[in-house]
């Protein structure tokens, strides 16, 4: 049961960290536009939208809002999908937004008998975790060591604590915590440009057939033992410079201070020059720019391949690979199948008879 619960928690965290292109996601609403069906802060499960029908609650990307929107599909036409928030007096299209195209839909909200499956107050809980993440991770890592469940304490004599009982949950929690930290370090930016026929100097408008060069500056705080991957769509990287920001001097010249300065977090500024590909026709042109940092626990070619599969795959695998040496050393020093302490011996019936 403990293993099942741990696996469910791991899958929940992975779905929560999944980007918009993932098949299954967990998210939450930040407004009251879907009241009373979905309240502000309530979480929901997003599944693939194979065939959107009227009445489905969908999540789609709105270029005009520059955000993902979760509203109900009230009508599906050949020209697009008409959407509306349950609490809104009119449809989004009546308010001036264009019809939602099927390609803009990232998924539909999982429902059971026409009722969405919700996670109440998920947004509020994530806000607290984001604010006190260090305390949550510390408590999670310490729990298997100093806590444990009641059944383990009750049955301590029958089932003595073994090394395996500690190392497995600690490794799982470390993988989840490390994946969360790696994901928090990613920088992603999405922009949508209007494409017109005539020349323009507007920063949000492109001209048909003409490329545009832009320079982006990204400030990263990471360990020297990390590998940085830059990824774009709708544009290509033509130049990239990395500038190390000198750390503030601590005034100490000790060997310990020098070692900490060498292996501790560093701040770097990445100046990336990109060329937006020339659009072929009028309409809209969407670009994405992302910088991802991974633990340098595997060869760079392997990390590039994993990132090509999915950033979440690269995050979990590189984080797990970083824990392998520690688990290997633990296995050499401690037999995980042996009890960490001997079980107290119970007196037998014959022994009780000899007691004075």
Is residue 139 in some structural domain? Answer: no
- On whether both 203 and 88 belong to a single domain, the answer is no
C-alpha–C-alpha distance, residues 44 and 29, integer Å: 8
Is residue 347 in some structural domain? Answer: no
Is residue 346 in some structural domain? Answer: no
Does the predicted model carry a pTM greater than 0.85? no
pLDDT at position 356 = 42
C-alpha–C-alpha distance, residues 162 and 129, integer Å: 31
Burial class (CB in 10 A: 0-12, 13-18, 19+), 314: buried
Is residue 214 in some structural domain? Answer: yes
- On whether both 9 and 97 belong to a single domain, the answer is yes
Q: Which two tokens stand for residue 174?
A: 């470390």
Q: Which domain, by its residues, includes 278? A: 186-247+260-309
pLDDT at position 278 = 86
pLDDT at position 232 = 86
- Close Cβ partners of 61 (under 8 Å, ≥ 6 residues apart): 20, 67, 68, 69, 104, 106
Please tell me the total count of domains within the chain: 2
Q: Which residue has the higher pLDDT, 94 or 122?
A: 94
pLDDT at position 352 = 45
User: For 108-117, how does the pLDDT look when each residue is reduced to its tens digit (9 = 90+)?
Assistant: 888 876 788 8
> Which of 294, 309, 324 is a domain's end point?
309
Is residue 221 in some structural domain? Answer: yes
pLDDT at position 132 = 61
Q: Which residue has the higher pLDDT, 298 or 169?
A: 298
- On whether both 199 and 301 belong to a single domain, the answer is yes
> In the predicted model, what is the mean pLDDT of residues 24-35?
81
> Which of 103, 119, 135 is a domain's end point?
119
Q: How confident is the model at residue 55 (pLDDT cuts 50, 70, 90)?
A: confident
> In the predicted model, what is the mean pLDDT of residues 239-257?
59
- On whether both 100 and 202 belong to a single domain, the answer is no
Is residue 138 in some structural domain? Answer: no
Is residue 175 in some structural domain? Answer: no
* pLDDT above 70: residue 177: yes
- On whether both 222 and 109 belong to a single domain, the answer is no
Is residue 243 in some structural domain? Answer: yes
Q: How confident is the model at residue 325 (pLDDT cuts 50, 70, 90)?
A: confident
> Which of 99, 119, 139 is a domain's end point?
119
Q: What is the largest CA-CA distance in the chain?
A: 106
């Amino acid at each position: 049961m403990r293993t099942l619960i741990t696996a469910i928690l791991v899958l929940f965290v992975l779905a929560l960290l999944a980007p918009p292109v993932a098949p299954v996601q967990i998210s939450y609403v930040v407004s009251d536009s879907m009241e009373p069906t979905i309240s502000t802060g309530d979480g929901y499960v997003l599944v693939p939208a194979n065939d959107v029908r009227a009445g489905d609650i969908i999540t789609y990307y709105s270029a005009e809002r520059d955000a993902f929107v979760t509203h109900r599909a009230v009508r599906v036409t050949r020209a697009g999908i008409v959407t509306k928030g349950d609490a809104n007096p009119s449809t989004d299209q009546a308010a001036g937004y264009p019809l939602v195209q099927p390609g803009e839909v990232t998924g539909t909200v999982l429902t059971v008998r026409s009722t969405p499956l919700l996670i109440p107050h998920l947004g509020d809980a994530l806000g607290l975790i984001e604010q006190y993440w260090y305390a949550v991770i510390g408590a999670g890592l310490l729990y298997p060591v100093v806590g444990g469940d009641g059944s383990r304490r009750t049955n301590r004599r029958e089932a003595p604590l073994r090394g395996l009982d500690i190392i497995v949950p600690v490794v799982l929690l470390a993988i989840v915590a490390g994946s969360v930290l790696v994901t928090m370090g990613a920088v992603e930016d999405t922009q949508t440009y209007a494409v017109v026929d005539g020349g323009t100097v507007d920063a949000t408008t492109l001209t048909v057939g003409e490329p545009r060069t832009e320079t982006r500056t990204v400030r990263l705080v990471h360990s020297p033992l990390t590998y940085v991957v830059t990824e774009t769509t709708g544009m290509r990287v033509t130049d990239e410079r990395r500038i190390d920001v000198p750390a503030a001097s601590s005034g100490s010249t000790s060997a310990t201070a020098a070692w900490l300065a060498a292996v501790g977090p560093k701040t770097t500024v990445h100046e990336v020059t990109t060329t937006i590909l020339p659009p072929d026709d009028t309409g809209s042109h969407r670009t994405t720019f992302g910088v991802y940092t991974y633990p340098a626990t595997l060869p760079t070619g392997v990390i590039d391949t994993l990132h090509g599969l999915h950033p979440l795959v690269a995050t979990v695998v590189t984080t797990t690979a970083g824990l392998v040496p520690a688990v290997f050393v633990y296995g050499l020093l401690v037999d995980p199948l042996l009890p960490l302490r001997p079980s107290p011996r119970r007196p037998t019936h014959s022994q009780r008879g000899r007691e004075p």
